[in-house]
Structure 1
Amino acid sequence: MSEWTWEYEGYDPAGERLRESLCTLGNGCFATRGAVPESRAGLVHYPATYAAGVYNRLESAVAGRRVVNEDLVNLPNWLLLRFRPRFADGSAGPWFSPDTCRPLDHRHSLDLRRAVLTRTFRFRDDEAGVLGVEQVRLVHMADPHLAALRTVFTAEEWSGEIEVESVLDGDVTNGNVHRYRSLDRRHLVRVRTGASAADVTWLSCRTSASDIGIGMAARTVAAGRPPTASELRPSHRRAVHRLVVPVAPGRPAVVDRTVALHTSRDRAISDPLGAALDRVATAADFPALVDSHAAAWARLWRGADIQVPGEAGRVLRLHLFHVLQTLSPHTADLDAGVPARGLHGEAYRGHVFWDELFVLPYLNLHFPEVSRALLDYRHRRLPQACRAARAAGRAGAMYPWQSGSDGREETQQLHLNPRSGRWLPDDSRLQHHVGSAIAYNVWQYCEATGDTEYLHTKGAEMLLQIARFWADSAEPAPGTGRYRIRGVVGPDEYHDRYPDAARPGLDDNAYTNVTAAWVLGRALDLVRRLPAWRRQELFERIGLDGGELPKWEEVSRRLRVPFHQGVISQFDGYGDLAELDWDAYRTRYPSIRRLDRILEAEGDSVNRYQASKQADVLMLGYLFSSAELRALFHRLGYDVDEEVWHRTVDYYLRRTSHGSTLSGLVHGLVLARARRAEAWSYVHEALEADIADIQGGTTGEGIHLGAMAGTLDLVQRGLTGLETREDALFLDPVPLPALSEYGFSLRYRGHWGIGVRRRSGQLEIRVPDSEESPIRVVLADRAVSIAPGETCTLVLPED
């Protein structure tokens, strides 16, 4: 395979779901999984199409309770195309299926440069002979409402006809995640089908509760040679176009299918079906669509590509490909957040968690307009977050752990442990640290872009309301002069209550408290920085009394951080928990990543042990540089030097099961600075997380978008030590032997295409010619100014 190509040889039913996720094609508005076109959803295949922000809510009976869940909706299947040979007597063979007729020479090739998926295979029909098939598909990046599929049939030493059925299938449900199978999964209602021309079929429907209209139209033509028969067969929930095309040696048959998809959430349309019919009627032919699609991707790659030699570079490019398919420049026109599993599957129900914390640092310096749109998604839901805070008896904004259509808390009330088969209470909604992640993203976006207009308006509203929530959540601890934040869950997620406690929640989670203190400090800085008229206007708009600010200042300096055995405690009482016999569990189970499920199935609870799912305290080292972290603790009245931090890193490394794909990513970046010799194993795990499906089946339910974007940021920010602050690029490169050479480009403060390249102990920075001001680059031992059109080569100190 080349550095731009991913190939899958042979047909492997057991690996089909994984390949479908990794071969998903999308354009930021919608995406379609890489299922074989002739398949329908079942135990092996799962064809599905998802549109950003299209959710629906259903009620189900679970464990004797009525629960409501909102899901990213599986839309009608536009991809379905099946075929079979026809014989001279008018009879036909069976419809081809790789599950009943084993294909020969089966191969999928994903071309990352042009974003097309090509499938080639041959199969032998007992009566007709061998038929070669090539299928090429795309989801158009230039026109975000189009997709296309070309199928080429080549007969080997026989002549005859191929019968083809091109189908728009509205008889679909949400069935990608097996553990959701007992829930209500049918989201589409009022399905209608029809035909508008000799070669166009259509389908329209609506979501049952959110009432989003969906219009889909398909134009199917036999390119080059007219079909011997063509028939449109609209039926209940399916629109079928049947063609019969001649085929002979040296005279292949080509069937092109162009599909348009619109929803009622789209702008500048009258109705979804009418828009889909208009768009498909005027769409170019397949070769022209490929050309314009490839040209759009070429523009994306010029501004986003990352160059790293070897296999790591290939994986990073695949990760970037999937990030851009989920969050492209088209996303800037949508009201959509960052779905944790991309537009690739139904795990986590397509909800928005805190994953933008790992995504925006990359996007800020490549596609800042997309970052701004993702922050706007949060700003539009600020009123809902304020209502949630009031309902909880708090001031400010309490953002939900899981968000969907309108910003209410979408975290499920129960979750299923597949090991035990039991439905258990889900208290992860107590992860209020998601608010700090949003505030961090606002600040980092504005630092990277210089977008003071956003910082002083929407950004300020979010930042101050989140700060307000933390200040009101902090309770005085009598006799200590400290404040506490109680009843929360940290990023670890395993621990949601104290052993045998009746109520969920933990006290003084270190990550929550330190990031809350950071939010309060940044909010105070912003208030001081705002022009007086804007400050007054902002205070009036959000109803903020200036008398609240002294408490913000006090809480930002006096929040409690617990310690034990000379290390930072994950939460108050963590050091009192029992130690787990890690060796025993590693011996008994092939994988202990989901240790919580293992212990619950044994009748035990992970809440009893010093065992973490993923980085919690160590997330602080992911977000903040060493100097900034020391300053944060100093502001809180604690002395956390390098020795204390390294001791803390060592402590939690021995007590983490890495049950999240984010864990290896965070540990890799932290160790690159704390214990470099061990960093690569975690970086390698982060790179392999999805392509090797290290969690055993989860990638088939959707890629892990935060982990994929985070590996890009690991190179861009982790290895370079890149920080955007004080109107400068701060760099503190880390030598990691396995990734000693790399290059990428940045957009920064009006400069498009700043080139950064490291090789042979040197860091080269190239600023393209423009009318912009010079940029200031600061290293630990020097600062330089680089004017547009100049290249600066910096010799790095020996490690």
Structure 2
Amino acid sequence: MKNYIKHDPWCVVEEGFYPEYNEITESLTSLGNGRMGQRGNFEEHFSGKTLLGNYVAGVFYPDKTRVGWWKNGYPRYFAKVLNACNWIGIDVKIDGETLDLGLCTVSEYSRVLNMKEGILERRFVATLSGGKQVRVHAQRFCSIADDEAGAIRYSVTALNFEGKITLTPFLDGDISNKDSNYGEKFWDEIRKETAFGEAYLEMRTKDTPFKTELFNVCTGMKFDISLNGEIVDFQCKPVKAEKYVACGTELPVKTGDEVVLYKYAVNLASLNHPTDQLLTHAKAYLQRISEKGFDQMKAEQIQAWAERWDKNDIVIEGDSDSRTDAAQQGIRFNIFQLEQTYTGEDDRLNIGPKGFTGEKYGGSTYWDTEAYCLPFYLATADQKVARNLLIYRHKHLQKAIENAANLGFKDGAALYPMVTMTGEECHNEWEITFEEIHRNGAIAYAIYDYIRHTGDEGYLAEYGLEVLIGIARFWAQRVNWSGDKQKYVMLGVTGPNEYENNVNNNFYTNYLAAWCLRYTLEGLNRHKAAVGALLQNIHFDFEVETAKWQHIVDNMYYPYDAERQVYLQQDGFLDKELLTVDDIAEHRPINQKWSWDRILRSCFIKQADVLQGLYFFEEDFDLDTIRRNFDFYEPMTVHESSLSPCVHVILAAKLGYKEKAYEMYLRTSRLDLDDYNNDTEDGLHITSMAGTWMSVIKGFAGMRIRNGALSFSPYLPDQWKGYSFRITFKGQVIRISVTPHHIEVENFSNQSVSFAVDGALIELDANGRKVLEIAQQK
């Protein structure tokens, strides 16, 4: 764990210059607006540790897959999020000497991400080698109001000299990905253009043998300069090089003078604009935002974020100490990153595991979206946002059918990809690509989750059943009948616990498959008439296929240990030496200290596996069953997946394990802030951040949906004095506030609402409010 980030309820604060942690802080201070984003890199040149990162949503490159040998059905390519043109760059020279914090003496340094406003701010004093001293104050943001644009205010003050300050704002497209094979670069230059105070650079992704879509991105910039608060005329020297454009200007200054450069930039992609009009559109877009000016853009940014926080904030009350600030900062940091990664405006986009904060994991869509992110957007955003996440998968159904066909499945069976940009599988690890098929079930579960939360039953007939049938056909072909067990079994899979590969009868996968078949059967029985044309088009033999599915549901095999009365993660799990994480404290994290062979032979669990199933389907199991399984598996879980702690919070809270629940909450909420797994420098764990929200709402507040209505069973962690949040459910908005002695509920809707608190039915009039007294904390 790193402890250099200051605890603050609304900001991520780096006080003092920590060049050894710079890549971590770059991740933590990343910005985005759903269309574009970038890491918290310096505007000026920096010769120290840095991972440059600028990203445009939906733009990717199909890189060559590197494997030892090819296997039938293997993905054609490995899709990766592309590091795009660096739009934030400003070269700074003081009397010809480059400002470089790697070579200067740095003092009074701070870097602050204001999450309330979505603004990154940096201040420092730099003493150059010749003794000249400058004060720099930089602010920037990716605009939520103008979501293809960003703006920078970069101030340089001469502290002890009279001379010349040279500012050269630039656009640099000659960049590469850190993870590129063989050091390849992925962009070709199409055109570049400079004029007074502005420049444009249009790039296109390189062509490949894979014949995927090529993307053009036009990046443009305009800038103004002020001296001591007044906009000034300046001379501008255009600079052009390969994949690079810049405009340099030189200003004479004396001690105390402040020079400010206002830089406006846009990233326009051919996804959203006609390719042959990108440059024209970029010029018009830049003209519009530069006429607004930095201050107006900033005001609109602050207002846009205020509207978001009004819907999604979780407020934690406690002692005015570091512990409470740490908890409050953690939840807001996670919510902030989710909001700036995905806005739900475009059903072609999804939520990448690193968002706009890094390149790792390549593709933009994993099962994380359905299992972890969807509940957050269901409860905090307009219904269309969650619906667009589901439509994204419906649009990829034919690709999922092709993916399954590549592996030998037939008759419309669909296997959704583990990693994708377009619906085509593009993962590069065989044991995940071929075996981690539980991702199919997460997509089915998301449809169920969406309908029960929104009441949008029409979605099932319009889109959902077509997806469910494809997935159900896959499960029906993926299982086989075991004459020995007289049950259906599923062989050669990898469950959520990726520290086990190629196992038989993973409990979670088997249970999820049977549930999916059952849920699809229920949906077909409810909507058979409405989907008659669909069933005919996909050649669905209703009697034969549904009978087969029901037989599988009734006869699925689940590995179970009768002595311990727990479900086994998979066949043979008890053959392992059963240790706890306390037995290997000095070896953690094992994914960085052990060989893969040793990990696979150990009992240690990367993330919730059996417990993931008990979390999804807790209504199917009594409390004692959940307790026995939690007590058995949690001590063996190393939580080396970001997706793990939140599931344990929710189950621990349900079981009354308050200390364990809070321990896991801090781990999930501060996973990146404290760099628990020594990997924050690669980028943040965006998709798991929704798990932090679930830890509070489903964990501490005990929110569930029972019989079509909301239900809460809240308790207050001992470390807090209170917490509150808002939930949108079936178009109605309620607020829950929990304190040591009462629970306050408010209805912000213009119609009455009913829900349960600790089993008691609560009726709230339109815009009503009630205070419920509680005798004691659970």
8 A contact 1:194–1:201 mirrored in 2: yes
| Counterparts in 2 of 1:607 and 1:5: CA distance versus 1, 3 Å | closer
Q: Which residue of 2 aligns with 1:307?
A: 315
Q: 1:134 aligns to what SS in structure 2?
A: strand
What amino acid maps onto 2:620 in structure 1? L
Q: Residues 624-661 of structure 1: CA distance to partner in whole angstroms, max 9, x if unpaired?
A: 33xx132xxxxxxxxxx433332221211232222212
Q: Report if the CA contact (8 A) 1:401-1:431 is conserved.
A: no
After TM superposition, give the deviation of residue 316 of structure 1 in Å.
0.5
Pair 1:612 & 2:637 matched: no
Change (3 A) 1:227 1:128: farther
Residue matched to 1:642: 623
- CA distance, structure 1, for counterparts of residue 240 and residue 624 of structure 2: 71
1:292 to 300, 308, 312: 300
Structure 2 residue aligned with 1:634: none
Partner of 2:539: 543
State the AA in 1 paired with 2:769. Answer: T
Match of 1:711 among 666, 672, 692: 692
1:29-76 per-residue CA deviation (whole Å, 9 max, x = no partner) reads 111110111236x76112211122211112266668898321101101
Partner of residue 418, structure 1: none
Q: Assess, with a 3 A threshold, how the Cα gap between structure 1 residues 629 and 737 changes in structure 2: closer, same or farther.
A: farther
Change (3 A) 1:100 1:782: same
Q: Counterpart of 1:738 in 2: which secondary structure? A: coil
Structure 1 residues 454-498: Cα deviation after superposition (integer angstroms, max 9, x where no partner): 2221122212221222223222222644211222110001111xx
Match of 1:142 in 2: 145
Structure 2: distance between partners of 1:274 and 1:305? 39
Deviation at 1:205, TM superposition (A): 0.7
Q: 1:599 aligns with which of 592, 595, 599?
A: 595
Q: Residue 119 of structure 1: SS of its match in structure 2?
A: strand
Q: 1:544 to 1:204 in 2, by over 3 A?
A: same
CA contact (8 A) 2:493 2:506 kept: yes
Structural mapping, 1:357-506, within 5 Å: 357-367=371-381, 368-395=383-410, 396-413=412-429, 426-427=431-432, 429-478=434-483, 480-496=485-501, 505-506=502-503
Matched, 1:80 2:79: no
- How many angstroms apart in 1 are the aligned matches of 2:14 and 2:581? 37
CA contact (8 A) 1:362 1:716 kept: no
CA–CA distance in structure 1, aligned partners of residues 492 and 521 of structure 2: 25
**Compared with structure 1, are the counterparts of its residues 429 and 326 closer, same or farther at alpha carbon in structure 2 (3 Å cutoff)?**
farther
User: What's the CA shift for 1:791?
Assistant: 1.2
CA–CA separation in structure 2 for the residues paired with 1:779 and 1:300:
27
Kindly indicate whether the alpha-carbon contact (under 8 Å) linking 1:326 and 1:342 is maintained by their aligned counterparts in 2. Answer: yes
- Cα deviation for residue 583 of structure 1 reads 6.0
Provide closer, same or farther for how the CA distance between residues 742 and 538 of structure 1 changes in structure 2, counting only shifts above 3 A: farther
Letter in structure 2 aligned against 1:341:
K
Partner of 2:728, secondary structure, is: strand
Consecutive aligned runs of 4 or more in structure 1 exceeding 6 Å deviation:
64-67
Equivalent residue, structure 2, for 1:777: 755
Quick check: 1:388–1:397 contact (8 Å CA) kept in 2?
Answer: no
1:105-254 correspondence to structure 2 within 5 Å: 105-125=108-128, 127=130, 129-175=132-178, 180=179, 182-195=181-194, 197-209=195-207, 210-223=213-226, 224-254=230-260
Contact 1:578 1:609 in 2 (8 A): yes
Question: Counterparts of 2:65 and 2:8 in 1: how far apart (Å)?
Answer: 47
Q: Distance in 1 between matches of 2:661 and 2:136?
A: 45
Query: Aligned runs of 1:39-78 on 2, under 5 Å?
Result: 39=45, 44-59=49-64, 68-78=77-87
Q: Residue 764 of structure 2 aligns with which residue? A: 786
Report the alpha carbon displacement of residue 313 of structure 1 after superposing the two structures with TM: 1.3
Instruction: Using the TM superposition, give the Cα deviation of residue 522 of structure 1 relative to its aligned residue in structure 2, in angstroms.
Output: 1.6
* Aligned counterpart in structure 1 of residue 353 of structure 2, from 327, 340, 356: 340
2:384 counterpart letter in structure 1: E
| Alignment-mate amino acid for residue 317 of structure 1 | R
Using the TM superposition, give the Cα deviation of residue 406 of structure 1 relative to its aligned residue in structure 2, in angstroms: 1.6
2:735 aligned with 1:737: no
Correspondence for 2:270: 264
- Give me the whole-angstrom Cα distance separating, in 2, the residues matched to 1:306 and 1:252: 40
Contact 1:6–1:111 (8 Å) recurs in 2:
yes
Letter in 2 for 1:376: I
TM-score, normalised relative to structure 1? 0.88
Determine the structure 2 residue equivalent to 1:568. Answer: 567
- Pair 183,353 (structure 1): closer, same or farther in 2 beyond 3 Å: farther
The CA distance in 2 between the partners of 1:19 and 1:703, in whole Å, is 10
Match of 2:320 in 1: none
Residue in structure 1 matched with residue 321 of structure 2 by the alignment: none
Task: Give 1:28-39 correspondences, 5 Å limit.
Answer: 28-39=34-45
Q: TM-score scaled to structure 2, two decimals? A: 0.91
Moved more, 54-63 or 1-10: 54-63
Whole-angstrom CA distance in 2 between matches of 1:302 and 1:278? 33
Q: Work out the CA distance in 2 between the residues paired with 1:777 and 1:164.
A: 60
Distance in 2 between the 1:521 and 1:334 partners?
28
| Residue identity in the other structure for 1:577 | K
Of 671-680 and 361-370, more deviation after overlay is shown by 671-680
Determine which structure has greater relative contact order: mean sequence separation of CA pairs < 8 Å that are 6+ residues apart, divided by chain length. Answer: 2
Alpha-carbon contact 1:133-1:152 (below 8 Å) kept: yes
Distance 1:455 1:135, change over 3 A: same
User: 1:214 & 1:271 partners in 2: Cα distance?
Assistant: 11
* Percent identity (aligned): 25
Q: Hey, what's the Cα distance between the residues in 2 that align with 1:541 and 1:253?
A: 67
1:586: how far off? 3.1
Contact 1:304/1:744 (<8 A) preserved: yes
Aligned partners of 1:341 and 1:350 also within 8 Å: no
1:678 equivalent in structure 2: 660
| 1:534 equivalenced with 2:530 (yes/no) | yes
Say what the alpha-carbon RMSD is for the aligned residues. Answer: 2.3
Deviations 1:256-307 (A, max 9, x none): 1000110000157863222212101221211111111111111111111111
TM-superposed deviation, 1:534:
0.8
For residue 438 of structure 1, report the CA deviation from its aligned partner. 0.8
1:765 to 741, 745, 760: 745
In the superposition, relative to structure 1, how do residues 39 and 85 fare at CA in structure 2: closer, same or farther (>3 Å)?
closer
Gaps of at least 5 residues in structure 2 are 1-6, 208-212, 318-323
Tell me what 2:736 maps to: 756
Equivalent pair of 2:61/2:79 in contact (CA under 8 Å): yes
Between the aligned partners of 2:446 and 2:518, the Cα distance in structure 1 is 15
